[in-house]
Structure 1
């Protein structure tokens, strides 16, 4: 039985989908104004693993991950670059998809864009006004009346009284209450806008996800996910909007991934410790980055440093090395009664504990190294595939990644041939010199009965 930690109840619960055999899952995706950073990689990979495990468990999964393609940051960044918001959005979405491919992410079932659902947002806002949960303001904005939703704060645990006591926001004369949030923004000169019953304008951020999720998954669905930072106010506001409009429960299980810190501190451009996915991929293989993320539990905080990424590279190298040189039979599916597979399943069924699942892979690798059993190696590769790992040929991974100043594969092969010639001529000193040169340049040689193989250190 799959158990998941539900942020709404602050406890693990048995997972029971609304419709047997089917799972409807929505995850808040990117606001496409800039390149994705390493924190986004954590979210994307975490929910990719959850998606993969649900599918491996036999569920028919409808996975929706949205794109926010209209927002203040997009308008500002496009203006800074001297291009239109549409041009910025198109390029940023293309970049995001390239990064997703590098991390071996499965595409979601649907990837809706906010600007394609403005009509639905207007309709939902009209329903909220009719239900007494929202009101148009004199300035052309429309606000959600937070105090009209009695259970506001149930996801984040923040009561209205506590929110009001801690309020430091400058009072907006257009709001009836300082806690009210915007659903529709009146148009400003030069900004994209749509016609509405309240005049030209554009949607607020929170209303987008309420509409896109319900459009693709229905008014009540199984799982809603996102980064820990979205619990409040974004997801809290989604609940208020959706339940305030429809009058019933919105989502059964709320899942949130933990943060990535850099050298123990929160990632921030002001601290100079901000890294895009592309920054990291200049130095590390995309699968190494994925392995770094997957080997930790999705809810736990993760610390990012070069040394930790190097450790992840070494760990993934150990796994690939165990598969090296073996001719694996074709996969016939995973036999979950196998003790290793059963342990792996128990780990993943315990709130998607990929960290424990990775430990099973290392145990399998140790056994494969000892026995060279191709059936165990096949199982190891199939289990790793559930996590999106170990699906390349071992040689491809072990020999990949010549960075700046490193030897190319052709240069390495030439030096190995020179060493082979030296050994043939019994020039042991030259043979040792070449081996030492390769080690110094991050290349490990492995002599065996079949000859000499190599991998990057």
Structure 2
């Protein structure tokens, strides 16, 4: 049974009770005002891995991942109605409407998620299409005494009404300091840690409500959508570590106050992803998109494999060298699977496969799982047909398309064709030292070269026999 680290309880434990056959999982989705970078996708690969491991255990997963297309301000902590919505800010910059921006970047996100083999959720509600749910929830919180209105039409959550606030992040109410505002403390609030559920405004992407025209606060969106699509008992809530506070603290307070009990059983967070030792940010110029990986002639699933090389709750530093290494491993595994597919099928090595599956079950110990998989790859004492069945079985969890080269003609990795041409010219010039050096370089790319009476031939990842080198 899958065991994960619960951020709220500070311990690893079973995600589901013994005998449970279904799991309800909510994941905070993207704010669709720009392209999601590879760091953003670490959270979604985490949720997908949880889903795949659970489904291999015959657990039915009902997942919900929202689309935030309104309400997320440029400064997420800003409750000023004049604060600019991220979607609208980008719309102004690109000369399009907010809805056009949201739909464009939503489509881009879904395309990238599919490219990374992230299975789609059963529910993917948009904030702009569920405003009625948020208004209903705010009304319920007001009725139960967990929220209050301000004269300008704002509605705030009363943080003091939820005494267990801070259990996820450790940021207790009595330790929170007021935010920095030029004009001092917000006079509309009873307590400086209260947050806005409804913000008055009369501009694009606003709606009528019992408190006047405006738009919902970012935090209330996930509460309303998760309760509507997954119900009042949610097994697992996932997100990036940066969402622990204030987003998930606020969401927990809202949901539990509306339902009257603890809604989410387990909170699971993925750690930050750095690139070249720095946080991915537009200001630092090190944003890496999935399209950048493809433009570098790397398989986009090399990103997924690189993410699996580290445990989800450990900070990870991704580099281009890391991605190139993952791409090389991915191509080699696909080549091995294609080669093994030509051997008679054999039963999987049960103990080896069970050990790898146990690593996944143990708080998603993906580094151990991959190390055991590499050992299996190298163990020639195990029949090729047996390794073939094991790799395909485990790829249902890995999601790396390891069978994609079966039946394909041999193909050269990037740069290999030019090296082959250089080697052919070196042999024609009887430059044997250069010929040997180029053979070694090709071997480093996974290309084996053989010299025959009719010229050199090669064999490469994804192929069967050697073929003549192209002129």
State the TM-score bracket (shorter-chain normalisation).
0.7 to 0.9
The question of whether the paired residues in 2 share the 8 Å contact of 1:194 and 1:201 is answered with: yes
The question of whether the paired residues in 1 share the 8 Å contact of 2:38 and 2:303 is answered with: no
The question of whether the paired residues in 2 share the 8 Å contact of 1:364 and 1:380 is answered with: no
Rate the CA distance shift 1:232–1:149 in 2: closer, same or farther, 3 A: same
Q: What corresponds to 2:238 in structure 1?
A: 225
Q: Give deviations 1:342-396, integer Å, cap 9, x for gaps.
A: 111211111121221111210111115x655212222122213311122421687
Q: What corresponds to 2:47 in structure 1?
A: 47
Question: Cα distance, 1:430 vs. partner?
Answer: 7.3
Q: What corresponds to 2:75 in structure 1?
A: none
Q: 2:243 aligned with 1:243, yes or no?
A: no
Rate the CA distance shift 1:399–1:233 in 2: closer, same or farther, 3 A: farther
Q: What corresponds to 1:116 in structure 2?
A: 129
The question of whether the paired residues in 2 share the 8 Å contact of 1:435 and 1:445 is answered with: no
Mean CA deviation greater in 266-275 or 90-99 = 266-275
In structure 2, the gaps of 5 or more residues are 72-84, 463-471
Q: Give deviations 1:237-267, integer Å, cap 9, x for gaps.
A: 0111011111111100110001101222222
Q: What corresponds to 1:373 in structure 2?
A: 384
Q: What corresponds to 1:61 in structure 2?
A: 61
Q: 2:374 aligned with 1:362, yes or no?
A: yes
Distance 1:397 1:215 in 2: 50
The partner residue of 1:315 within 314, 320, 329 is: 329
Question: Cα distance, 1:21 vs. partner?
Answer: 0.2
The partner residue of 1:74 within 87, 91, 94 is: 87
In structure 1, the gaps of 5 or more residues are none
Distance 2:256 2:372 in 1: 42
Question: Cα distance, 1:438 vs. partner?
Answer: 7.7
The partner residue of 2:300 within 271, 275, 286 is: 286
Q: Give deviations 1:20-48, integer Å, cap 9, x for gaps.
A: 20000000010000000121121121211
TM-score by length of 1: 0.87
The question of whether the paired residues in 2 share the 8 Å contact of 1:443 and 1:455 is answered with: no
Q: Give deviations 1:392-427, integer Å, cap 9, x for gaps.
A: 21687984764xxx466xx788x49x95x999xxx6
The question of whether the paired residues in 1 share the 8 Å contact of 2:335 and 2:461 is answered with: no
The question of whether the paired residues in 2 share the 8 Å contact of 1:399 and 1:455 is answered with: yes
Rate the CA distance shift 1:276–1:434 in 2: closer, same or farther, 3 A: same
The partner residue of 1:146 within 145, 153, 159 is: 159
Distance 1:281 1:69 in 2: 27
Question: Cα distance, 1:306 vs. partner?
Answer: 1.4
Rate the CA distance shift 1:116–1:396 in 2: closer, same or farther, 3 A: farther
Q: What corresponds to 1:446 in structure 2?
A: 448
The question of whether the paired residues in 1 share the 8 Å contact of 2:341 and 2:406 is answered with: no
Rate the CA distance shift 1:113–1:435 in 2: closer, same or farther, 3 A: farther
Q: What corresponds to 1:296 in structure 2?
A: 310
Q: Give deviations 1:128-160, integer Å, cap 9, x for gaps.
A: 000111111111111111111111111111111
The question of whether the paired residues in 2 share the 8 Å contact of 1:41 and 1:277 is answered with: no
Q: What corresponds to 1:13 in structure 2?
A: 13
Distance 1:445 1:329 in 2: 21
Q: 2:347 aligned with 1:347, yes or no?
A: no
Rate the CA distance shift 1:30–1:391 in 2: closer, same or farther, 3 A: farther
**1:322-337 residue pairs with structure 2 within 5 A?**
322-327=336-341
- Greater share of helix: 1
Distance 1:183 1:330 in 2: 62
Mean CA deviation greater in 155-164 or 316-325 = 316-325
Q: 2:400 aligned with 1:386, yes or no?
A: no
RMSD over aligned Cα atoms: 3.1
Q: Give deviations 1:183-222, integer Å, cap 9, x for gaps.
A: 111123x321111100111111111101111111101210
The question of whether the paired residues in 2 share the 8 Å contact of 1:18 and 1:222 is answered with: no
